[in-house]
C-alpha cells in the first residue's frame, strides 16, 4: 500500500506520477533480445526502438520488486501514452506503440514511488507488425498480448445505437483446463456491482417502500449512532463518512482469500466509534455504504439481495448469465478464474467473498451490454431512476466532485462520459458509456496486470475517432531542474525566506528547499519537484496542475503556504524541521489493541528499527517522520499520550480510514 495521501483524495495523487529524476539512456531495443536492468531510487531509464510508419509494436516489462511507470514518445519527442498496471511491484507491465511516422520511438521507465526499495526488471519486444486498418482488427490488436493459449485474457463488447457492434474473447478463462474466454464467459466484475445496488434501492423507492433520504439506522439499527444522520443517499454517493470495509479488514489482519461475509462486515461496522468526516461534507470512496444498501434491499424486500436483483433486473433484461454471488461454494458454469504474474509465471488469485452490494456481481460482456442499453432504451426502471443515477453528487458546500450514484461523471477528450471500473483479486473490469454518442464499451479481464480502463478508452478512440478532441501532446524532454526554476527575477534573500517545512495535512509535510536560485518542494516520503515562479510569491509545481503561494504575516515573515489544485484551496502553516534520529523508538514498543477491529499489534525493536507484529501478517516497519507520527504499510500513525505524557495508544489513518484507535495494553 502506498504512503498515506492528502485527506482530499483528488489533491494527493498529484505527487505520485510525475517524478523529478535523473535520466539514463539505456540503449536500443531489438527483437528476440531481453534486457535485464536494476533500477535505483531517483532513476529514469530510456530505451529507443526503431519503427517504420504504420507499425504496431508490443512490449513487456516484467517487474521484480519495483513498481514502475512507463511513458512512450514518438520520434519528434511528443508524448504518446502512459502505462501502469494495477499489480504493484511484481508482474508484467504491457506497452503498446502504434507508429504514425518512421523513426526512433522511446520508452521511458521510472518508479511509481521514488522511495521504494531498489528492484529490477526484464524488458523485451513481443512483436512488431503492420498496424491494422479496420476498427474491429484494431481492437484485436489491443488484446494481442493476452490472446494466447498460455495467458489469461479478457472479453469485450462494443455497443452503438442499442446494438452490440463487436464482441470477442481473448486468452484463457481457465489456465488449468485450457478453457478460452469468449463474450459469454462469466467474470467477477467487482465494483461495477455498485450501480446495480443503487438501481435496486431506486426501484424500492419507486414502489414507495423507502426513500433515499431515510436514515440508514431505520433499516439497520446495528449501525452506530454517530450523532450525525447518515442517509441512504450518502451511502450511494460515497459521502457517508463511514470507514471503508476493505481497509478495516486489512488492518484487522484478514487476507484476500479469507471467507468474508456480509454478517462479518455488519459486525465490524457496528463496533466503529468515529466517522471519517461529517456526512455530506466530502466524497471518499467507501465500499461499506454499498454493503449496507444491499442489506437494506434484503430487509425491505424480504428476499436476499441476489434474489431481488435476479427477479427485478436480470430476468427482465434477459441477463441470463448474471448473478450476485453470495455463496462462495456455489457452482457457476463458464466462469473465469483470476490470475497474476510474477517471476515464475502465472499464479491464481482466489476470492471467497460472501458479501454483495459493493462487489460480487458475476456477469458477461454480452449481459453487461444489455444493462448498458437499458440506460437509453428502458425495459427496467424509469427515466426518473436513470436521471437520479446520472446526476453528479453535490457536497454540503455545493461542490460537485464528479461522483454520481454507483458511477462517475466526467469528460473524456471532450465527450460526456459515465463510467465505473472494478478490481478484485486478478479481475479487472470497466464499463463506460457515452450517452450523447449512444455508445458504450465493456471490458472484462481475469489478469491483474490488465488495465481495463485504459484499454476501454483506446477502444473509444477507435470507434469515436471523428468525435473526440485530441488533447495537447507533451514534449519528450520535461524541463530540467535548471530550466524549471524562476522565470522572473527574485532576490536570493526572498527565496531563502521561503525555505522550510509546511504542514499541508496532519503529518503530511511539504519541504521547500533552495538551490542555485531555484526552489524545490518535496512532500513527505515523496520525490522532489521543481517550482516555477509565476510571481514573486506564487509558484507553479513543475509538471503538476497545482500552485503554491507563500503568505507573509503582519511583520512580513513567511509562516504559511496557500496550496491550490483542482478548485481546492488548502493552507499549510510552517512547522519546525524533524530529525528522525532523535526519536527514542523504545518508548513506542508494547502491545496495542483495537476494540473496533478486535485485533492486536505488538510493536517491537529489530536491528534498531520499530516493527509491528500481527499473527496473521508479515512484520512491517513503523518509520518516524514527525514528532509522534510514523509511516507504515497502511498509512500514517499518530501516537497519543495521557495527561502524564505516557503513550496511551495510537491512531491509524489511511486514504479511507481516519483515526482508528489502538489502545496500549
pLDDT digits (tens, 9 = 90+) for 468-503: 976 554 444 433 333 333 457 898 999 999 999 998
pLDDT computed for residue 114 by the predictor: 52
Query: CA–CA separation, 424 vs 435, rounded Å?
Result: 27
DSSP string covering 349-408, please? E--EEE--SSS-EEE-HHHHHHHHHHTTS-SSS-HHHHHHHTSPPP-TTS---SB-SSSE
What value does the mean pLDDT of the chain take?
A: 90
Q: If pLDDT is split at 50, 70 and 90, which confidence band does 442 have?
A: very high
Q: Are residues 362 and 434 in the same domain?
A: yes
CB 510 within 8 A of CB 12: no
Q: Among 88, 104, 131, where does a domain finish?
A: 131
> Does residue 173 form part of some domain?
no
Q: Are residues 586 and 570 in the same domain?
A: no
Q: Are residues 317 and 338 in the same domain?
A: yes
Q: Are residues 17 and 43 in the same domain?
A: yes
- Secondary structure (3-state) at 449: coil
Q: Are residues 271 and 319 in the same domain?
A: yes
pLDDT above 70 for 19: no
Chain CA centroid to CA 661, Å: 25
pLDDT computed for residue 5 by the predictor: 34
Cell matching residue 70:
512507463
CA torsion, ordered 450, 453, 457, 460, to nearest 10 deg: 100
Q: Are residues 100 and 48 in the same domain?
A: yes
pLDDT computed for residue 566 by the predictor: 67
pLDDT above 80 for 268: yes
How long a stretch of residues is the chain?
665
Residue 652: which H helix or E strand, with range? strand 647-653
Longest Cα–Cα distance of the chain, Å, equals 75
- Secondary structure (3-state) at 502: strand
Residue range 141-150: average pLDDT?
A: 93
Chain CA centroid to CA 413, Å: 21
Query: CA–CA separation, 294 vs 470, rounded Å?
Result: 41
CB 292 within 8 A of CB 236: no
Q: Over the stretch 28-38, which tens digit does the pLDDT of each residue have?
A: 999 999 999 99
pLDDT computed for residue 210 by the predictor: 98
pLDDT above 60 for 151: yes
Q: How many domains does the chain have?
A: 4
Q: Are residues 294 and 392 in the same domain?
A: yes
pLDDT above 50 for 10: no
- Secondary structure (3-state) at 225: coil
Q: Please report, for the domain that includes residue 264, its CATH number.
A: 3.40.710.10
Cell matching residue 403:
461522483
Q: Over the stretch 48-59, which tens digit does the pLDDT of each residue have?
A: 999 999 999 999
> Does residue 146 form part of some domain?
no
pLDDT computed for residue 380 by the predictor: 98
Q: Are residues 238 and 318 in the same domain?
A: yes
pLDDT above 80 for 87: no
Q: If pLDDT is split at 50, 70 and 90, which confidence band does 584 have?
A: very high
> Does residue 480 form part of some domain?
no
Burial level of 244, CB count in 10 A (0-12/13-18/19+)?
buried
Q: In terms of residue numbers, what domain contains 501?
A: 492-575
Which single residue is written with the C-alpha cell 526519536? 583
In sequence order, what are the residues at sequence separation of 6 or more whose Cβ sits closer than 8 angstroms to the Cβ of residue 472? none
Count CB neighbours of 95 within 10 A.
Answer: 23
pLDDT computed for residue 12 by the predictor: 41
Residue 611: which H helix or E strand, with range? strand 609-614
Q: Are residues 306 and 351 in the same domain?
A: yes
**Alpha-carbon torsion (339, 341, 342, 347), positive or negative:** positive
Residue range 246-263: average pLDDT?
A: 95
Q: Are residues 343 and 383 in the same domain?
A: yes
- Secondary structure (3-state) at 245: helix
Burial level of 578, CB count in 10 A (0-12/13-18/19+)?
middle
Q: Are residues 216 and 243 in the same domain?
A: yes
Q: Among 96, 131, 166, where does a domain finish?
A: 131
Predicted structure pTM score: 0.85
Q: Over the stretch 531-575, which tens digit does the pLDDT of each residue have?
A: 989 999 999 987 677 899 999 998 889 999 999 886 678 899 999
Amino acid at each position: 500500500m502506498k504512503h498515506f495521501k492528502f485527506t482530499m483524495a483528488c489533491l494527493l495523487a498529484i505527487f505520485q506520477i510525475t517524478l523529478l529524476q535523473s535520466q539514463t539512456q539505456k540503449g536500443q531495443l531489438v527483437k528476440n533480445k531481453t534486457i535485464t536492468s536494476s533500477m535505483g531510487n531517483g532513476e529514469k531509464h530510456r530505451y529507443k526502438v526503431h519503427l517504420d510508419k504504420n507499425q504496431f509494436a508490443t512490449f513487456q516489462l516484467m517487474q521484480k520488486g519495483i513498481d514502475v511507470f512507463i511513458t512512450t514518445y514518438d520520434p519528434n519527442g511528443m508524448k504518446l501514452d502512459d502505462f501502469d498496471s494495477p499489480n504493484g511491484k511484481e508482474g508484467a507491465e504491457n506497452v503498446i506503440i502504434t507508429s504514425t511516422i518512421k523513426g526512433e520511438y522511446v520508452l521511458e521507465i521510472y518508479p511509481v514511488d521514488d522511495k521504494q526499495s531498489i528492484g529490477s526488471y526484464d524488458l523485451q519486444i513481443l512483436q512488431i507488425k503492420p498496424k491494422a486498418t479496420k476498427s474491429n482488427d484494431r481492437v484485436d490488436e489491443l488484446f494481442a498480448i493476452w490472446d494466447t493459449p498460455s495467458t489469461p485474457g479478457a472479453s469485450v463488447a462494443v455497443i452503438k445505437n442499442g446494438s452490440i457492434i463487436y464482441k470477442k474473447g481473448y486468452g484463457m478463462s481457465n489456465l488449468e483446463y485450457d478453457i478460452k474466454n469468449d463474450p459469454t464467459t462469466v467474470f467477477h466484475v467487482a465494483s461495477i456491482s455498485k450501480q446495480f445496488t443503487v438501481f435496486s434501492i431506486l426501484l424500492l423507492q419507486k414502489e414507495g417502500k423507502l426513500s433515499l433520504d431515510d436514515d440508514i439506522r431505520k433499516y439497520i439499527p446495528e449501525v452506530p449512532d454517530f450523532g450525525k444522520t447518515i442517509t441512504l443517499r450518502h451511502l450511494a454517493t460515497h459521502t457517508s463518512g463511514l470507514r471503508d470495509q476493505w481497509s478495516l479488514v486489512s488492518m484487522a489482519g484478514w487476507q484476500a482469500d479469507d471467507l468474508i461475509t456480509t454478517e462479518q462486515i455488519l459486525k465490524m461496522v457496528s463496533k466503529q466509534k468515529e466517522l471519517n468526516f461529517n456526512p455530506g461534507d466530502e466524497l471518499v470512496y467507501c465500499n461499506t455504504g454499498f454493503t449496507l444498501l444491499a442489506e437494506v434491499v434484503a430487509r425491505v424486500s424480504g428476499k436476499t439481495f441476489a434474489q431481488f436483483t435476479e427477479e427485478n433486473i436480470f430476468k427482465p433484461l434477459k441477463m441470463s448469465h448474471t448473478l450476485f454471488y453470495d455463496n462462495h461454494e456455489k457452482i457457476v458454469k463458464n466462469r473465469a478464474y483470476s490470475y497474476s504474474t510474477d517471476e515464475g509465471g502465472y499464479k491464481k488469485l482466489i476470492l471467497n467473498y460472501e458479501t454483495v452490494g459493493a462487489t460480487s456481481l458475476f456477469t458477461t460482456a454480452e449481459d453487461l451490454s444489455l444493462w448498458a442499453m437499458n440506460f437509453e432504451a428502458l425495459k427496467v426502471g424509469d427515466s426518473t431512476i436513470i436521471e437520479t443515477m446520472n446526476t453528479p453528487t453535490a457536497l454540503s458546500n455545493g461542490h460537485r466532485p464528479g461522483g454520481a450514484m454507483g458511477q462517475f461523471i466526467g469528460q473524456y477528450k471532450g465527450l460526456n462520459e459515465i463510467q465505473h471500473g472494478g478490481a478484485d483479486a486478478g479481475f479487472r473490469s470497466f464499463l463506460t458509456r457515452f450517452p450523447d454518442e449512444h455508445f458504450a464499451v465493456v471490458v472484462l479481464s481475469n489478469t491483474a496486470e490488465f488495465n481495463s480502463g485504459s484499454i476501454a478508452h483506446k477502444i473509444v478512440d477507435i470507434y469515436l475517432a471523428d468525435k473526440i478532441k485530441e488533447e495537447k501532446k507533451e514534449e519528450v524532454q520535461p524541463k530540467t531542474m535548471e530550466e524549471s526554476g524562476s522565470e522572473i527575477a527574485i532576490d536570493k534573500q526572498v527565496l531563502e525566506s521561503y525555505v522550510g517545512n509546511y504542514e499541508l495535512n496532519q503529518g503530511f509535510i511539504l519541504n521547500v528547499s533552495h538551490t542555485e536560485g531555484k526552489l524545490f518542494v518535496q512532500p513527505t516520503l515523496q520525490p522532489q519537484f521543481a517550482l516555477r515562479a509565476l510571481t514573486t510569491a506564487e509558484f507553479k509545481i513543475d509538471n503538476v496542475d497545482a500552485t503554491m503561494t507563500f503568505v507573509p504575516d503582519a511583520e512580513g515573515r513567511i509562516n504559511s503556504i496557500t496550496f491550490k489544485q483542482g478548485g481546492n484551496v488548502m493552507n499549510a502553516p510552517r512547522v519546525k524541521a524533524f530529525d528522525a534520529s532523535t526519536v527514542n523508538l523504545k518508548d513506542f514498543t508494547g502491545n496495542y489493541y483495537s476494540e473496533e477491529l478486535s485485533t492486536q499489534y505488538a510493536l517491537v525493536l529489530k536491528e534498531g528499527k520499530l516493527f509491528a507484529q500481527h499473527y496473521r501478517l508479515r512484520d512491517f516497519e513503523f518509520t518516524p517522520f514527525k514528532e509522534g507520527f510514523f509511516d507504515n504499510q497502511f498509512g500514517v500513525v499518530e501516537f497519543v499520550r495521557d495527561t502524564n505524557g505516557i503513550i496511551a495508544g495510537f491512531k491509524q489513518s489511511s486514504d479511507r480510514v481516519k483515526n482508528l484507535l489502538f489502545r496500549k495494553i
